[in-house]
């Protein structure tokens, strides 16, 4: 009997108007299918109207528009002959907000390499928007490393770690913040998050001044204060590189030794943080309430089951504010209802999620929910 772990990780954040231009970050991960065939999954954010064309009414659909201003695609940039295109940037629309001017989507694709590698697959372009602390206004790059040599411990090829975030988090100006990024590894390897550097992040390296990163649980801690150079309403870029490390010493391809200090692969995660000032205390923010599953909780289902969850949010210390949206990132076939008021609870709203699973979904999946109120607030 096959079981599936389904991991739900929840965050609450506020959104106000965004001035994002063009590329808004993204991530990619992969797993071996058979032989040297690899299945990749990428998620990306764009300024509304500048990406493949996700809109509010197209959520769940494949969108295929040309990307404004750039002929850009996923390419194998190391280990292949030449720099072959392995996928274009078209994707399934996962969320969009015209007012806040962003769209996001995800796509999976297969690519068959001609040998076990290692390889680098990258998505590169020229137009990161201008960001705070003098960052952005330049090239972007998100890239992953792939090594298909057989692991001595699992007798199969490695799978990369998986990380997920929203395109933009709105985190109140002049407050203390802790943001936990959900990560997992299908092989049970140790996963560490690090700040991206050099060509891992191009124009958005070190974009969050004074921030601390707890590598083990991928938690970013920072104070959005004037002392540290943060500004009311400014946008900042965050670029992480996430590596997996074997729990014990292993070999790859029968000879190349990897100790628990040696990374097996890496994936990128780049996203935005905006720091608007609000006339309210730092602790008045949206929160998820019962019957939302606990943050990080795992639901286990048989392949073929339909998983149903309700994600419910209110506005903690200030119930005069409504929840205006709940944004979700998760498996492509996760179906979400419209945002609905929760009967009997003032200004409390929910979305019903259903996921019809199939044997292709076996493995762990992350769902990332962000609750947004009418005017302000931050992380849970």
Point out which residues bind ligand NAG (CB under 6 A): 33, 39, 64, 66, 88, 90, 108-110, 155, 180, 214, 217, 219, 360
- The nearest distance, CB 357 to ligand NAG, in angstroms, is 14
Using a 10 angstrom Cβ sphere, with 0-12 exposed, 13-18 middle and 19 or more buried, the burial of residue 113 is buried
Q: CA-to-CA distance for 257 and 252, rounded, in angstroms?
A: 6
- The nearest distance, CB 171 to ligand NAG, in angstroms, is 15
Report the residue number, 134 or 296, with the smaller CB distance to ligand NAG.
Answer: 296
Strand partners, 360: none
Do the strands 297-302 and 183-184 form a parallel or antiparallel pair, or are they unpaired?
unpaired
Report the residue number, 85 or 226, with the smaller CB distance to ligand NAG.
Answer: 85
Non-local CB neighbours of 343 within 8 Å, separated by 6+ positions: none
Report the residue number, 32 or 132, with the smaller CB distance to ligand NAG.
Answer: 32
Answer whether 201's CB lies under 8 Å from 266's CB. no
Q: CA-to-CA distance for 151 and 286, rounded, in angstroms?
A: 44
- The nearest distance, CB 221 to ligand NAG, in angstroms, is 9
Report the residue number, 90 or 266, with the smaller CB distance to ligand NAG.
Answer: 90
Report helix, strand or coil for 18: coil
Report the residue number, 31 or 127, with the smaller CB distance to ligand NAG.
Answer: 31
- The nearest distance, CB 303 to ligand NAG, in angstroms, is 13
Report the residue number, 36 or 109, with the smaller CB distance to ligand NAG.
Answer: 109
DSSP state of 193: E
Spell out a b/e string for 85-108, using b for 16 or more CB atoms within 10 Å of the CB, else e.
ebbbbbbbbbbbbeebbbbbbbbb
- The nearest distance, CB 358 to ligand NAG, in angstroms, is 10
- The nearest distance, CB 217 to ligand NAG, in angstroms, is 4
């Amino acid at each position: 009997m096959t079981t599936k772990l389904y991991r739900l990780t929840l965050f609450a954040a506020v959104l106000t108007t965004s001035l994002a231009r063009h590329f808004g970050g993204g991530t990619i991960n992969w797993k071996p299918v058979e032989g040297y065939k690899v299945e990749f999954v990428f998620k990306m954010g764009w300024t509304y109207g500048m990406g493949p064309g996700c809109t509010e009414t197209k959520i769940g659909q494949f969108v295929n528009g040309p990307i404004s201003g750039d002929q850009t695609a996923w390419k194998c940039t190391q280990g292949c002959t030449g720099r072959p295109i392995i996928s274009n940037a078209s994707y399934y629309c996962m969320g969009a907000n015209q007012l806040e001017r962003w769209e996001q989507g995800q796509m999976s694709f297969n690519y068959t390499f001609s040998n076990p590698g290692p390889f680098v697959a990258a998505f590169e372009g020229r137009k990161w928007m201008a960001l705070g602390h003098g960052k952005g206004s330049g090239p972007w790059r998100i890239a992953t490393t792939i090594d298909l040599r057989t692991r001595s411990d699992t007798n199969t090829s490695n799978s990369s770690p998986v990380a997920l975030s929203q395109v933009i988090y709105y985190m109140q100006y002049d407050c203390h913040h802790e943001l936990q990024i959900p990560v997992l590894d299908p092989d049970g390897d140790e996963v560490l998050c690090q700040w991206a550097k050099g060509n891992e992040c191009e124009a958005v390296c070190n974009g969050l001044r004074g921030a601390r990163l707890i590598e083990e649980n991928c938690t970013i801690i920072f104070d959005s204060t004037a002392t540290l150079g943060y500004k009311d309403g400014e946008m900042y870029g965050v670029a992480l590189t996430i590596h997996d490390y074997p729990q014990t010493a292993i070999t790859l391809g029968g000879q190349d030794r990897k100790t628990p200090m040696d990374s097996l692969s890496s994936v990128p995660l780049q996203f935005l943080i905006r720091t608007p000032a609000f006339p309210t205390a730092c602790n008045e923010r949206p929160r998820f309430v019962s019957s939302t599953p606990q943050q990080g909780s795992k639901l286990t289902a048989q392949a073929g089951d339909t998983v149903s969850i309700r994600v419910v949010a209110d506005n903690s210390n200030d119930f005069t504010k409504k929840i205006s949206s709940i944004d979700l990132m998760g498996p492509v076939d996760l179906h979400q209802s419209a945002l609905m008021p929760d009967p009997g609870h003032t200004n409390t709203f929910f979305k019903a999620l259903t996921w019809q699973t199939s044997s292709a979904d076996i493995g762990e999946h992350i769902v990332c929910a962000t609750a947004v109120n009418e005017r302000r607030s931050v992380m849970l």
